Amino acid sequence: MAAMTSTIHPTPIAAPLPGRWREDPVLTVEHLTMRFGGLVAINDLSFSVGRGDITALIGPNGAGKTTVFNCVTGFYKPTEGRISLRRGRGISSATLDALTKSGGQSLKADGGELFLLERMTDFKITEVAGVARTFQNIRLFGGMTVFENLLVAQHNKLMAASGFTIGGLLGLPGYRRAKEAAQDRAVDWLRRTALLDRADDPAADLSYGDQRRLEIARAMCTDPVLLCLDEPAAGLNPRESAELNELLRSVRDQFDTSILLIEHDMGVVMEISDHIVVLDYGKKISDGTAAEVKSDPRVIAAYLGVDDEEVEAVEAKLDEGDVEGAIAQAHVEPHVEGGASA
Ligand SMILES: Nc1ncnc2c1ncn2[C@@H]1O[C@H](COP(=O)(O)OP(=O)(O)OP(=O)(O)O)[C@@H](O)[C@H]1O
C-alpha cells in the first residue's frame, strides 16, 4: 500500500444501525495496544464481536489484523488493554469491572461466565474460555488421517474424562462414553464439511480447499464460543470459496459459535459478514455493516493506497461523496460487484 500522507475528510455517515456487537457482545476489545520495541502494531483499538455474528477484521497488509488475533488467542500478551469474553447473555459491565478490579481471570455471574483473556495463557483461552483458531498457513497433522486430526483436537476433553489417570486404558465407563462422543462429533463434522469419504486418508493428501474445511472442522470439534479464522479463503478457487461461505453461515446459524475472521477476499467478506471492523496502521478506521463500511471514504482511501500525486483528485471526489468517481480516479477495480469496494 502506498503511504497515505494526506488527510481524507470523511463524508458524514448515516446514524449507525443497531447491531448485536453493541447489544450482546461475546468478545469486547478495549483500548488494545501492542508494541514491538518502537513499533506500535496496534494503537488503542476498541471493538466488539456480536454473539452469533460473523465479524470480519479487514485492512491493508501490515494493518495489525494478525496481531489482534494473537492478542485475543493469547499468543501475545498485549502491552495495554482489556479483552473480555462473555459466555452467556446479560453479563453486566459492573461484573466486568468487578472482575477487572479483583485481579482474577474469570468470574461466574449473571447466569454466565466472564473471562479476561489478556490475563490467561493461550492454553486456557482455548480450553477454558472456548476460543478456537485457525492459522494463515494451514497447520494440520499431515501424516495423520483426516479422522485422527479431529480426534486429536478433542484430546484434552478425553484426558479430563479419564481423570488424567490410566482410566482410558482401563476403559472406565466415563472415558468410554467421552470417547464415543468424540468419535460421533468427528463424524458429524466430517459430514458437515463433506469430508466423510476422505476420513481415512492422510490430511496432507487433501486438496487445499478440503484442508481449509478440515481445519474449521477441527476447530469446531472443540465446541468453541468464538471461532477465529485467519484468512480462511486464501488460495481457494471460486467454487471452494462458495462452499466456505456456506460452511461459515451454517456454523453461525446452527451453533452457539460466533466467528471472527481476517480475510482479504472482499467477495467473501461482503457476502457473509454481519459486521466489519477496518484497521489501518494499527488503528480502527471504520466499524459497521458491510453497507456502512464499503461506502466509508476512510476505508476506500486506505484500501486504494492512493499515490501521492493522485491524493488531491481522489480526495476531491470523496469530499463530493462521489465514491465511484474516487475509485475510477485511483484506477483501481472495485472488488465488489455493483458498488464500491472496501
Ligand atoms: N512478533 C513481531 N515482532 C515485531 N513486529 C511484528 C510482530 N508481529 C507483527 N509485527 C509487525 O506489526 C505490524 C502488523 O502486522 P500484522 O501481521 O498484525 O498485520 P496484518 O494486518 O495481519 O498483515 P497481513 O494482512 O499482511 O497479514 C507489522 O508492521 C508487522 O511487521
> Closest ligand 1 atom to the C-alpha of 36?
4
pLDDT at 305: 61
> Is the separation of the CB atoms in 66 and 36 below 8 Å?
no
Rounded to whole angstroms, how far apart are CA atoms 222 and 214? 13
pLDDT tens, 124-170?
A: 999 899 999 987 777 788 888 999 999 887 776 666 655 555 555 55
pLDDT at 312: 64
Predicted confidence (pLDDT) at residue 89 exceeds the cutoff of 60: yes
For residue 133, the CA-to-ligand 1 centroid distance in Å is 17
> Which is higher by pLDDT, 142 or 224?
224
Rounded to whole angstroms, how far apart are CA atoms 68 and 45? 9
Ligand 1 pocket residues where CB is under 6 Å: 36, 39, 41, 59, 61-67
Q: Find the mean pLDDT for residues 63-77.
A: 96
pLDDT at 1: 39
pLDDT at 5: 36
Q: Find the mean pLDDT for residues 23-49.
A: 95
DSSP structure string for 207-274: -HHHHHHHHHHHHHTT--SEEEEESTTTT--HHHHHHHHHHHHHHHHHSS-EEEEE-S-HHHHHHH-S
The Cβ of residue 111 has, within 10 Å, a number of other Cβ atoms equal to 10
- pLDDT band with cut points at 50, 70 and 90 for residue 67: very high
Ligand 1 pocket test target in 33, 39, 58, 278 with most atoms within 8 Å of CB: 39
- pLDDT band with cut points at 50, 70 and 90 for residue 13: very low
Among residues 33, 26, 23, 20, the alpha carbon closest in space to that of 115 is found at: 26
pLDDT at 282: 95
Any residues with CB less than 8 A from the CB of 265 and at least 6 apart, and which? 233, 234, 236, 241
Query: Considering only 10-14, 210-214, 304-308, 314-318, which range has the smallest mean pLDDT?
Result: 10-14
φ, ψ of residue 128 in degrees (nearest 5)? -100, -50
Q: Euclidean distance between the first and final Cα of the chain, in Å? A: 14
> How big is the chain, counted in residues?
342
pLDDT at 131: 96
For residue 66, the CA-to-ligand 1 centroid distance in Å is 7
Across-strand partners of 132? 227
Cα separations in angstroms, 61 against 66, 198, 206, 262: 10, 35, 29, 11
- pLDDT band with cut points at 50, 70 and 90 for residue 11: very low
φ, ψ of residue 189 in degrees (nearest 5)? -75, -30
Give the percent of the chain with pLDDT over 90.
52
208 alpha-carbon distance from chain centroid: 20
**Given its phi and psi angles, is residue 37 left (phi above 0), alpha (psi -120 to 50 degrees) or beta?**
left
Nearest protein CA to atom 12 of ligand 1, as residue? 41
Q: Find the mean pLDDT for residues 202-206.
A: 93
The three cell numbers locating residue 161: 474424562
For residue 281, the CA-to-ligand 1 centroid distance in Å is 10
- pLDDT band with cut points at 50, 70 and 90 for residue 109: confident
DSSP structure string for 88-128: SS---HHHHHHHHHHT-SEEEETTEEEEEGGGS-HHHIIII
> Is the separation of the CB atoms in 226 and 252 below 8 Å?
no
For residue 333, the CA-to-ligand 1 centroid distance in Å is 26
pLDDT tens, 257-311?
A: 999 999 988 888 989 999 999 999 999 999 999 988 887 888 877 776 655 456 5
Long-range contacts of 176-182 (CB under 8 A, 24+ apart): 182/151, 182/154, 182/157, 182/158, 182/221
Q: Find the mean pLDDT for residues 17-31.
A: 86
For the full predicted model, state whether its pTM sits above 0.90.
Answer: no
The SS3 call for residue 28 is strand
Q: Find the mean pLDDT for residues 307-320.
A: 63
> Which is higher by pLDDT, 305 or 212?
212
Predicted confidence (pLDDT) at residue 195 exceeds the cutoff of 80: yes
> Which is higher by pLDDT, 168 or 314?
314
- Mean of the per-residue pLDDT values of the chain: 83
Rounded to whole angstroms, how far apart are CA atoms 185 and 246? 20
> Which is higher by pLDDT, 1 or 178?
178
Give the percent of the chain with pLDDT over 70.
79
ipTM: 0.97
pLDDT at 163: 56
Cα separations in angstroms, 133 against 158, 215, 259: 20, 9, 10
Residue corresponding to grid cell 495496544: 33
Q: Find the mean pLDDT for residues 228-239.
A: 90
pLDDT at 175: 64
User: What is the DSSP code (8-state) at residue 17?
Assistant: P
> Which is higher by pLDDT, 327 or 285?
285
